[in-house]
Amino acid sequence: MEQILALREELEKALSNLQLPEQPAKLYQPVRYTLENGGKRMRPVLVLLGCKLFSEDISNAIHPALGVELFHNFTLVHDDIMDEAPVRRGKPSVYEQWDPNVAILSGDAIFIKAYQELLQTDKNVILPILDLFNKTALEICEGQQLDMDFEQRNDVSIDDYLHMITLKTAVLLGASLKIGALTGGASEDQAQALYDFGLNCGIAFQLQDDILDVFGESKKVGKQKGGDILANKKTFLLLKAQELATGKTEEVLADWISSSNSSTDKVEGVTSIYDELNVRELAEERMWRYFNTGIAALEKVGANEKWKSVLLDFSRSLMHRES
Amino acid sequence: MEQILALREELEKALSNLQLPEQPAKLYQPVRYTLENGGKRMRPVLVLLGCKLFSEDISNAIHPALGVELFHNFTLVHDDIMDEAPVRRGKPSVYEQWDPNVAILSGDAIFIKAYQELLQTDKNVILPILDLFNKTALEICEGQQLDMDFEQRNDVSIDDYLHMITLKTAVLLGASLKIGALTGGASEDQAQALYDFGLNCGIAFQLQDDILDVFGESKKVGKQKGGDILANKKTFLLLKAQELATGKTEEVLADWISSSNSSTDKVEGVTSIYDELNVRELAEERMWRYFNTGIAALEKVGANEKWKSVLLDFSRSLMHRES
């Protein structure tokens, strides 16, 4: 979509204009490394789209968009340490390229830079934006902690899981849109409806991620197929399968989960149980329910129709991605 | 000083009223643990004193004071991981009591809570306060990185060292006073003079810390005497001694620095070189020069004279401490 590409280009330009000191090099090089490592820039694009719905002029939204992107990158730098994830977007993550201390401190610096960017907007909307941002940032910390807690727990319910992904992933999509809407002059109600759209789509996207990890084409997904299965990650699919499995199937699934086997045998074994129990369809059904709830929230927002349809198309494209 | 005690009491009351969720426990328990572990609360007291200089009513300053204290605790939680410091205020540091991941994430949460507190003040001063706070926070990250860099470098000058302690320690004392002054209605010039006072005193306090580490009474200092010497920490004393030492003294000092000996022999050996070269007096002379520069900045501020003298007494008491 050309509009999305144009917004992304504006963002890249603004990001490349971001002023960062040269020294101390070990503090600021990892910041540059992280920002130059790309990514889809989905969250800052949502900030700009949120603004476009209410104002053609997006100059008030550019810096908050950078703020949201910086914040997202801060969470990745710290999460990669905690999750022991040595690769990020095809390159060594910061703690791997340097060391964990560098990742802690440069992550902190990215977080502070995020606040500096958020402050560069219309004075009339800074305070509601910061309130929302702080609330969201704390929720994301809670989501990350829950995600780590779930690894040790055997009593995670599907509702627990949905609550966790809401905090860890979805709230930032909602907040990105709402922040953008506020910079564009939206009312609180309009901005909140966009938040609801982003939140529900965010949950749908995460369910989509879970499904693609097992059923996507691994070349397109760009990571090992079934990585979640090998890691015994308590996704919607696994939790649903555990809920539905009985008799022999329940035993076989439990055996796979307790096994330290990390070959494609395990991926195939668990996937065939998923097939037997129809959990892919159940996950997709739930995913589309969240997505449609989001769409309904978006549709009732009185806003520029052209940009509403760009946002709709963008969200639909994310739902039909194969990776 | 009764006024300081009364301010500290107000702070403790406000801190105990801070709302923190119960769950996830691993995120918020370390936050409580950190805040309940006391400390001198010097920085938030400075915020309140900065306000008192311009306004008897300190209600606008209480939350920013908590914000500064939270921020300071955030830096301690993360620094302790980086510095591998297992004890903080006589108790296990967060990464030691839980683990480094818990310390990273709960540290992040404390940082966000700091911003939430900073925002709860008079709307007219929030933006200058946040600008100063962000600038200061980034400087503190730079100071921490320089401190870590210096461990690996053999070309650290005394100016480098003074620059590092300015960033790592002194800017937050200046910022605390300036933030308080702004909440009390000070002009930019008045608030900046208080910043200059706090900055210069902060450098003096750090030089005092360096001196007490070697020459203080270890019972009162509450940590091992000569800890900096055993860690080969490049303090003002060591850098000055390296600058002045010649001949045999230079050789003996170099031997001690390159030795892995970590007994009291090393502390006594290096201390006797410090005595020989008179570096304690040189450090004290420099310390008082910074302190007096600070006092001169304070004296020219037009502000409530009673509270100016409380602030003066408070800073003098910190200069004459034995630990």
For residue B198, pLDDT beyond 90: yes
> Residues A19-32: pLDDT tens digits?
999 999 999 999 99
Contact A137 B112 (CB under 8 A): yes
pLDDT of residue A225: 82
ipTM above 0.85, yes or no: yes
CA A218, A221, A226, A231 torsion-angle sign? positive
> How large is the average pLDDT for residues B249-278?
93
Separation CA A151–CA A149 (nearest Å)? 5
- How confident is the prediction for chain A on average, in pLDDT? 95
Q: Average the pLDDT over each of A220-229, A305-314, B216-225 and give the range with the smallest value.
A: B216-225
* Predicted confidence (pLDDT) at residue B144 exceeds the cutoff of 80: yes
Least confident of A2-11, A190-199, B256-265, B282-291: B256-265
Domains within chain B, CATH numbers bracketed:
2-319 (1.10.600.10)
Other C-beta atoms lying within 10 Å of the C-beta of residue A154: 8
pLDDT of residue A301: 96
Q: How far is CA A46 from CA A38, A57, A66, B214, in A?
A: 16, 15, 11, 56
Q: How confident is the model at residue A259 (pLDDT cuts 50, 70, 90)?
A: confident
State whether residue A225 is helix, strand or coil: coil
Q: Which residue of chain A is at minimal alpha-carbon distance from B105?
A: A141
Interface test with B, best of A75, A108, A149, A164 (most B CBs within 10 A): A108
Instruction: Output the six-digit token pair for B92.
Output: 């296990």
Judged on CB neighbours under 10 Å (0-12, 13-18, 19+), B258 is: exposed
- Reported pTM: 0.96
User: Using one digit for the tens of pLDDT, what is the confidence trace for B13-27?
Assistant: 999 999 999 999 999
Q: How far is B18 from chain A (nearest CA, A)?
A: 15
Q: What is the CA radius of gyration of chain B?
A: 20
* C-alpha span between B275 and B135 (Å, rounded): 39
Contacts of B27 in chain A (CB under 8 A): 141-142, 145
pLDDT confidence bin for A223, thresholds 50/70/90: low
CB B206 within 8 A of CB B162: no
Q: What is the mean pLDDT of residues A53-77?
A: 98
Which of B81, B108, B119 is the closest to A130 by Cβ? B119
Report CB contact under 8 Å: A144, B82: no
DSSP 8-state code for residue B166: I
CA distance B118 to B126: 8
- The answer to whether A73 contacts chain B (CB < 8 Å) is no
Distance from CA of A142 to the nearest CA of B (A): 6
Which of A141, A163, A172 has the most B C-beta neighbours within 10 Å, making it the best mutation to test the interface with B?
A141
- Return the structure tokens found at A229: 């299965």
